[in-house]
């Protein structure tokens, strides 16, 4: 099943179950963390798309206990990304499996460029992703 998923570039990370848990305004995305059970465990993740966002975003509650946000597009094939369970890494959902650390740096695979990483801050019950 994983092989077929990779052939078609189907990522494991889903959109949040609660579609009203986030909002986008000019230069930032605010996610109401309490409404997103997907982000309550290490390596939990959601993908944010639509609502006039200029790019897809992957949000991860990292294995390191921090939130991370990336442009959800592998620089090699343009496919979406998924966190790797039990590690501080992100991987492309294609067969080529380009792998990146939480800083966005290439660890392995054919990708030559780093991931675009966004600044993240937590404030009260919100995760704020700055789109610079």
pLDDT at residue 5 greater than cutoff 80: no
> Which H or E run contains 7?
helix 2-7
Rounded Cα gap, residues 57 and 54, in angstroms: 9
27-50 pLDDT, tens digit each: 999 999 899 999 999 999 999 998
What residue ranges define each of the domains in the chain, with the CATH number in brackets?
A: 2-130 (2.102.10.10)
pTM across the whole model: 0.92
pLDDT for the residue 1: 62
72-110 pLDDT, tens digit each: 999 998 889 999 988 999 998 777 789 999 999 999 999
Q: Check if the beta carbon of residue 125 is closer than 8 Å to that of residue 21.
A: no
pLDDT at residue 3 greater than cutoff 90: no
pLDDT for the residue 118: 97
pLDDT for the residue 116: 96
Rounded Cα gap, residues 19 and 13, in angstroms: 15
pLDDT for the residue 111: 92
């Amino acid at each position: 099943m994983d092989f077929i998923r990779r052939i078609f570039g189907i990522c494991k990370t889903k959109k949040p179950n609660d579609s009203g848990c986030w909002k986008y305004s000019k230069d930032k995305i605010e996610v109401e963390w309490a409404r997103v059970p997907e982000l309550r465990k290490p390596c939990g993740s959601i993908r944010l798309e639509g609502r006039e966002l200029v790019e897809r975003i992957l949000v991860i509650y990292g294995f390191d206990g921090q939130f991370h946000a990336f442009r959800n597009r592998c620089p090699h094939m343009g496919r979406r990304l998924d966190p790797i369970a039990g590690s501080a890494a992100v991987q492309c959902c294609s067969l080529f499996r380009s792998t990146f650390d939480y800083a966005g740096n290439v660890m392995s695979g054919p990708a030559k460029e780093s991931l675009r990483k966004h600044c993240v801050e937590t404030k009260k019950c919100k995760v704020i992703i700055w789109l610079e």
